[in-house]
Amino acid sequence: MPLFLAPLAVTSLLIFLFGTLLLFKKKEKTANRCFSAICFSASAWLAARSFYHIYSNEGLLRLGYAAITFMPVLLLHFVSVFIELPLLRRKHKTFYLVGAVFSLLILFTKAVIEGVIDSSGGYSLLAGYFFPLYCAFFIITLGLSVSFLVSALISGRFTGRKKIQAKYILISCIFFFLTTFVFIPGKDTGGLTYDLVLLYVSIIILAYAIIKLRLADLGFLVIRALIFIGVYAFIIGIPFLLGSRFRQRLIQAAGDNWWIIPIILSTLLANAGQYVYFFIKKRAEARILQEQQRYQNTLRRASLGMGRIRELKRLLKLIVHIVTRTVRIESCSIYLFHEASGQFTLRAVKGSSEDTGYGILSIDSPIVKYVLRVKEPVVYEEIREKRERYSSDDLLALESQMRFMDAEVAVPSFIEERLIAIIMLGKKNSGGIYTRDDIVVFSILANQSALAIENTRFYEEAKRTHEQLIKAEKMATIGTLADGLSHQINNRLHALGFIAGDILDSIRLRKKGMLPPENEARLFDDIENALGRINENVKHGGEIVEGLLKYTRKGPDGLAPIDINELFNSSLEMAMFKIKPNEMKIISNIGDNAPKVMGNFAQLQEVFFNMIDNSYDAVIQRKAEFREEDYRGFFEFTVQRKGKNIEINAVDNGIGVKTEDMRKVFTPFFSTKSSSNKGTGLGMYVIRQIIEDNHRGKVSFESQYKIGSRVIICLPVAEG
């Protein structure tokens, strides 16, 4: 048996096995049955050719040609099933019939193939009368397949994976078409001719088209295998070539042991071969991986960026942006789980899906139910195919929901078992399909997003708690002012009562004729005076209430340029409801041209109030505990500019803080105040929160027991 027949036989066997495998695996699909038949027909042809070389039996060769006659018909059948052409389906029988007639003619008559002429290492066909007709049948059948595929592709009936599959099938048909040149009569056909390779490639492409394209790794495998075969065929081929072509010269040069040279050469080359193989493989893979690396790089950058964002709204926008930009898709939307309502709400959108009308996905909508079950991305194409096969109601609902939402892929985002969000992806701009790599990238991105979303949620919750705490503390300080405030307001009312009462009394007395003459004379003046005083008191009362309201109002969020003088005075005004001026002297060294600071008025007011209040309590406490004869408390407030900052010093000569308590000063709920006027224990803590967290400023505290305390605050100066 000639050695070159081995690959022919092996190919034949492989194709046969492949066809059998497919037949057993997915028998129920017509397309698969067709493909198996294609494999058998090709396998039979190749087998017949190799056996012909061994037995030189023309009958065997005829058997092979009879088998291959069905190949174009099968291919047409396969194509018509694939592109769903029912019209063509009914005409299959005609094509099969014609094919069968030609097969019989080949087998039993000389009408198509007159005979076979042996030639060195091959054979040539002798054409019969019907041979042109046979060729025409071949060409027409194949041409029909190709034209159906092309027109279907052009019409744009195919999308996504189906489109790519169609392309592969088309290429496969064209390869097969090229194979048929071997039929040209009189042409010398050897064992290892190009037609063999073409047929082989044709079948591989077809197989690739049928096997799911989602196995993108198959691309790698095929490329690796090709490189491996190519490199080794070349490397091992060299010594063989040397051995066969230059044997004489080698004998001349090396004598009887000439074969050592090719053997050594092949050993050397085989060793070198692996390096060449690895080199080429690496280069080839790098090319394929380029796109993947681009994704991965973007992903890495994105995850870094996501971690830094603390605002949920901005984070969601960023995720949508990353997805649409890096992968270049038409639309993307994020549905976030809403704890309170127990459903998924649309939180960020980019692209055309804005008008799908799906603002909410309930927990039992098909898509949510499905991702909760499978816990991995759902691809529309796959669902559609699955539905075609199993036709379940769930799949049907899922398919129609995804279609309605224009969603090609739905990527769930989990933290452990909790579904945090669903990211919906629209079509790719390129019209291409989502590969496995894409899906993997999205899964990672989605999980990173889940973490980032949780982070922002925690952060936002912490921020809310923090704001509530500041507010609560402020309300608590108002509590300490209640006594002073009510006294002030009561005094106003009390005065009003007296003013009104006195003048009312005068008028009543006058009516009774009992008003003393001196009062009688200046009655109008008295009335005027009284009403004027009423006005004054109302105004004063109004100011008290206004100050209180200003203090309690949350005020605008965010920072704005603030006048320190105004801030200090309004804080002092509030503090004065509590402070008795003769208990503590207040000295302010602000100056009229102190620069403005960037700050939040309401929050800084709270800080200033707390400082004055703390100092006052410290002064009172020192007075009460030590009863020093000549002690007089003071509070000194100084503002100085230091570069781009303003330094505020608040100094008092109150009781101070003991060394052992110093490190607890900023701890929440810690207080050194005597029980009678104990505050919330949040004053210093809130000062630090407001200054350092909300204003990016700095607070420090110095104190000495029985001497006094100093609070130093640095705040950025407002530009301009």
Partner 1 sequence: MARILVVDDEADVREFTKSFFAKRKVEVQVASNGREALEKTKADKFDLVLLDVRMEDMTGTDVLKNLREQGNDVRVIMVTAVEDEEVINEANSWGIVGYIHKPLVLDEMERIVMGELDVRHI
Which residues lie near partner 1 (CB under 8 A)?
483, 486-487, 490-491, 493-502, 504-506, 509, 515-516, 519, 526, 530, 533, 537, 580-582
Residues 619/652, Cβ–Cβ less than 8 Å: yes
For residue 651, give the 3-state DSSP assignment.
strand
> How many angstroms separate the CA atoms of 356 and 370, rounded?
20
Name the residue nearer to partner 1 (CB basis): 56 or 490: 490
Name the residue nearer to partner 1 (CB basis): 316 or 481: 481
Residue 24: its H or E element: helix 5-25
Residues 145/72, Cβ–Cβ less than 8 Å: yes
Nearest distance in Å: CB 542, partner 1: 16
Nearest distance in Å: CB 491, partner 1: 6
Nearest distance in Å: CB 465, partner 1: 35
Residue 158: its H or E element: none
| Rg of the chain on CA atoms, in Å | 46
% helix, strand, coil for the chain, step of 5: 65, 15, 20
DSSP 329: B
Contacts of 182 (CB under 8 A, 6+ apart): 189, 193, 195
- What are the Cα distances from residue 92, in Å, to 23, 152, 173, 528? 20, 19, 18, 116
Residues 205/172, Cβ–Cβ less than 8 Å: yes
Name the residue nearer to partner 1 (CB basis): 171 or 509: 509
Nearest distance in Å: CB 581, partner 1: 7
> How many angstroms separate the CA atoms of 394 and 402, rounded?
12
In 171-328, where do the E strands start and end? 189-190
Nearest distance in Å: CB 501, partner 1: 3
Name the residue nearer to partner 1 (CB basis): 461 or 505: 505
Nearest distance in Å: CB 418, partner 1: 55
Q: Which of 686, 541, 560, 543 is nearest to 611 (CA)?
A: 686
Name the residue nearer to partner 1 (CB basis): 124 or 491: 491
Nearest distance in Å: CB 488, partner 1: 9
Phi and psi, residue 638, nearest 5°: -125, 140
Name the residue nearer to partner 1 (CB basis): 178 or 496: 496
Nearest distance in Å: CB 656, partner 1: 27
Torsion of CA 375, 379, 380, 381, to 10 degrees: -140
Nearest distance in Å: CB 496, partner 1: 7
Q: Quick one: 330 exposed, middle or buried, by C-beta within 10 A (0-12, 13-18, 19+)?
A: middle
Name the residue nearer to partner 1 (CB basis): 345 or 490: 490
Output the six-digit token pair for 690. Answer: 């407001």
- What are the Cα distances from residue 413, in Å, to 75, 311, 439? 43, 18, 13
